[in-house]
A and B are shown apart, each in its own frame.
Chain A
Amino acid sequence: MRLLLVEDDTLLGDGIRAGLMLAAYAVDWVPDGKQALLALADHSYDACVLDLGLPGKDGLTVLREMRGRGDQTPVLLLTARDTAEDKIAGLDHGADDYLTKPFDLGELQARIRALLRRAGGKAQPLLEHCGVSLDPASKRVSFNGQEVPLSAREYALLHALISQPGHIKSRSQLEESLYAWGDEAGSNTVEVYIHHLRKKFGADFIKTVRGLGYQLADKNG
């Protein structure tokens, strides 16, 4: 899962990025509204954490512009102002949730999980497919009731695939959900981690769709 973080404060931005990376998200961090809009146009993000008080283009403007051009990326607003008007304005401009500073890292992670769950059209916190179940809160994965230990990259790859089980994900899409900017990705890393997952959940669990990418096996298949 790849997230965009828009935060002008270097210390806070650095902390949030580290905190989200601990939860096995790939995080791109930009310090202002202009760069946020460019990043949103160039990449597809699973969610966006947006600070309201930004230099130049403020958070609300960014939100209005991205919604204006049809961008449906779930947005969690960070705001230091705790008046009802600020929250109302944020939600009415198209935010999906908000958090008031200072906040708890655990709460931020939980709210992002909820955002991603709702974006995937699910209310169930557990993601399940063909006997494999993934709990985004505890980052535990089990196969037929048996817990399976996964590395952070393997987990991130499985998370990306299992959140939309019917969809075919291209190699570059999967790569994006594994690596933020600046991370060094080898040319065949996605294949390496697919191979690891197949070893753990059976060779049929992930199908290769020639020329397009990868897809989880059909439920009844």
Chain B
Amino acid sequence: MRLRNRGRIHSLRWRLLAGIGAAVLLIWLLTGWFSYTKAQHEAEELMDGSLAQTARLLLAITHDNEDDLAELVPRLATVRGAEDIYEPPLEFQIGLGDGRVLARSPDAPEFPILGVAGYSDIIRHNEAWRVLNAVSTDGRYRVQVAQAIGLRDRAALEVATQTVLPLLFITPVLIVLIYLSISRALRPLEQLADEVAARTPDSLDALTTNRVPTEARPLVVAINRLFGRVARTLDNERQFTADAAHELRTPLAALKVQAQVALLSGDTPMREHALQQIAGGVDRASHLVDQLLRLARLDPLSSPPEIRSLDPEALLLDSLNAVRQAHPQATQQMLARIPPGAQALMGDGDLLGIALRNLLDNAVRYTPPASSIRVELAQAHGRCDLRVSDNGPGVPPAALARLGERFYRAGQAAGKGNGLGLAIVARIAELHGAQLSAENLPGGGFAVTLRGLQTQHPDEQSDKTD
């Protein structure tokens, strides 16, 4: 289960863990950034408030005390703060409404006090400073207060760190807990894998679904369905192999026995009879092998080897002629009927020819002399049916449903045919998307129909000429 190839992680556990870990890290960084900016904003407002208060205090002190200002400045130097982050340096300038500076702290910025009243940010001594210009209510005095804003950023950083730091310790614990719970959640899957791995190729019974998690149930149901199909296929294969063994051994046994009779018999007519039987038996065995090989080649296909447009008249007449040649002594009357203006068929000419020949061959074999056999084509709604019918004795009704089964022989076919002809026809019909149906006709007789073959669309008819 834990396959890791070409650098991609295939383990669900590690994928979940990596995903959740990344999400936790992202949330952690976002929380840090958010608390930092929020804290910075709060500190800024706090600082602006304190600057405004200081400015108003200076204005109040200055009012009507212009003469004492020279004395006041050194004393005010003590409020300029220390090199402490919570008492950052504070500089000020005091002047008249017209912009004349009356007093200033020693390190006050060279920034005119006559500017617009309000806050501004400046850079001095490679540090960011916040400057506030204020005017007294009567407009007689102006005050400028400036303070380094390093505090603001440092305070914000501190607040953010305090928020984020506990998460740094919680995260590993969280990851371990998530890992454990993922492992626990995946345990049924591992048990399922063990159960499948412990199976022998023969044990194809369904997996139990009651302890499987809901998410994995579709998989288990699909596996069970596959198991069922494989088991059925295996059964069919076994049945087919057993049947094929039976069908091949019987003619071989017959050939051997006949050959031994020929060897042992001192009687010439008896030996000649046995030799003739051998010749006939070899023909029959090679026909059986041909049919078996044909089925074996058709079995793995999922569609006909080639689909072409076929002239129905040529298809029917060729099959009829081939069967007439194979049974020169047949006395049955054989005829083909094709409606005028029949459209071309779509399919594999070789396979459909084999199907028709098999059906006609059966009809010749199992109808009495002078019966009539007909092969016909019927078309409707872009589909067509091929049908071979006779006026012979038909097939026992109980056998009708089993006719397409391999090696199944019904009625008088027992002991003569090999039971593969109709199975081949059924397979060819299936490959062409058609249905095979066999029925006894009401007035006596038997018919087999390949139903629902495709015909060529009339628009494509022009292609047929080349």
Interface on A for B, CB 8 Å cutoff? 8-12, 14-16, 18-19, 22, 31-32, 53, 55-56, 78, 80-82, 100-106, 108
The answer to whether A12 and B264 have CB atoms under 8 Å apart is: no
Pick from B242, B254, B270: contact of A12, CB under 8 Å: B254
* Min distance, Cβ B374 to any Cβ of chain A, angstroms: 28
Distance of A39 Cα from B258 Cα, bound (Å) = 25
The answer to whether B261 and A8 have CB atoms under 8 Å apart is: no
Distance of A8 Cα from B265 Cα, bound (Å) = 24
Give every chain A residue within 8 A of B251 (Cβ-Cβ). Answer: 9, 11-12
Distance of A120 Cα from B70 Cα, bound (Å) = 156
**Using an 8 Å CB-CB cutoff, how does the interface string of B240-256 with A read, 1 for contact, 0 for none?**
00100111011111111
The answer to whether A22 and B265 have CB atoms under 8 Å apart is: yes
Give every chain A residue within 8 A of B284 (Cβ-Cβ). Answer: 11
Pick from A31, A81, A106: contact of B415, CB under 8 Å: A31
Pick from A8, A16, A105: contact of B264, CB under 8 Å: A105
* Min distance, Cβ B422 to any Cβ of chain A, angstroms: 16
Pick from B250, B255, B264: contact of A80, CB under 8 Å: B250
Return the chain A residue nearest B284 by Cβ. Answer: A11
Known contacts A11-B280, A11-B281; is-contact A19 B415 (Cβ 8 Å): no
* Min distance, Cβ A87 to any Cβ of chain B, angstroms: 14
Distance of A58 Cα from B277 Cα, bound (Å) = 25
Known contacts A10-B416, A11-B284, A55-B415; is-contact A19 B245 (Cβ 8 Å): no
22 A-B pairs within 8 Å (CB atoms) are namely A8-B414, A9-B251, A9-B254, A10-B415, A11-B255, A11-B280, A12-B254, A14-B277, A15-B258, A15-B274, A16-B257, A18-B257, A18-B258, A18-B273, A19-B264, A31-B414, A55-B415, A81-B245, A82-B245, A103-B256, A105-B257, A108-B257
Give every chain A residue within 8 A of B261 (Cβ-Cβ). Answer: 15, 18-19, 22, 105
Pick from A11, A104, A106: contact of B258, CB under 8 Å: A11
Return the chain B residue nearest A8 by Cβ. Answer: B415
B409: Cβ under 8 A from any A Cβ: yes
Give every chain A residue within 8 A of B264 (Cβ-Cβ). Answer: 19, 22, 105
Give every chain A residue within 8 A of B247 (Cβ-Cβ). Answer: 80
Name the 8 nearest CB pairs between A and B, nearest first: A15-B257, A55-B414, A12-B254, A102-B253, A101-B253, A80-B246, A105-B260, A11-B254
Distance of A78 Cα from B251 Cα, bound (Å) = 13
The answer to whether A104 and B416 have CB atoms under 8 Å apart is: no
* Min distance, Cβ A179 to any Cβ of chain B, angstroms: 17
* Min distance, Cβ B395 to any Cβ of chain A, angstroms: 13
Distance of A101 Cα from B254 Cα, bound (Å) = 9
Distance of A105 Cα from B257 Cα, bound (Å) = 6
Q: With A10-B415, A14-B258 given, can you name 19 additional A-B contacts, CB distance below 8 Å? A: A11-B251, A11-B254, A11-B281, A12-B257, A15-B260, A18-B265, A19-B261, A22-B264, A31-B414, A55-B414, A56-B414, A80-B246, A80-B250, A81-B246, A82-B245, A101-B252, A102-B249, A104-B256, A105-B260
Pick from A8, A14, A80: contact of B249, CB under 8 Å: A80
Distance of A19 Cα from B258 Cα, bound (Å) = 8
Distance of A78 Cα from B252 Cα, bound (Å) = 13
Distance of A123 Cα from B280 Cα, bound (Å) = 41
Known contacts A11-B281, A18-B274, A19-B261; is-contact A102 B409 (Cβ 8 Å): no
The answer to whether B249 and A101 have CB atoms under 8 Å apart is: yes
Return the chain A residue nearest B408 by Cβ. Answer: A55
